[in-house]
Amino acid sequence: MKKVKFCKDCKWSRYSRSSYELRCINDQVVAEYPWALSRWKDPNEEIEYNHGTGCHEERSKKSWFAKCGLKGKLWEERKKAPTPTGDE
């Protein structure tokens, strides 16, 4: 049986500041999303919470050509789970 690859366990996921939604910050995934590429980072913030694209958007792609997609092709194991404060 295959191991399920949850975004919460992926080293490329971060919490969004405005919600508890996970954001994917993998460069290969972000390169396809204009909104993710054009985010402004507040110089007073250490962590760029809203960078990236919604994990649910990327993982909902079933196409064989999707960067990560439903299969989690770019998934990499995280050392410990993300927190809403951005601590790792």
Mean pLDDT of residues grouped by 10 in the chain (88 residues)? 86 80 86 74 60 85 88 87 57
The structural domain count of the chain equals 1
22 lies in some domain: yes
**66 CB contacts (<8 Å, ≥6 apart)?**
58, 73
**Residue that has been written with the tokens 């992926």 in this structure:** 10
Check residue 41 and give its pLDDT. 64
76 lies in some domain: no
Supply the pTM of this predicted model: 0.70
Check residue 82 and give its pLDDT. 58
CA dist., res. 12 & res. 8, Å (int): 9
79 lies in some domain: no
Domain limits for position 49: 7-59
CA dist., res. 21 & res. 31, Å (int): 20
CA trace torsion 10, 66, 50, 33 (10° rounding): 160
Check residue 42 and give its pLDDT. 63
Residue 4 identity (one-letter amino acid) = V
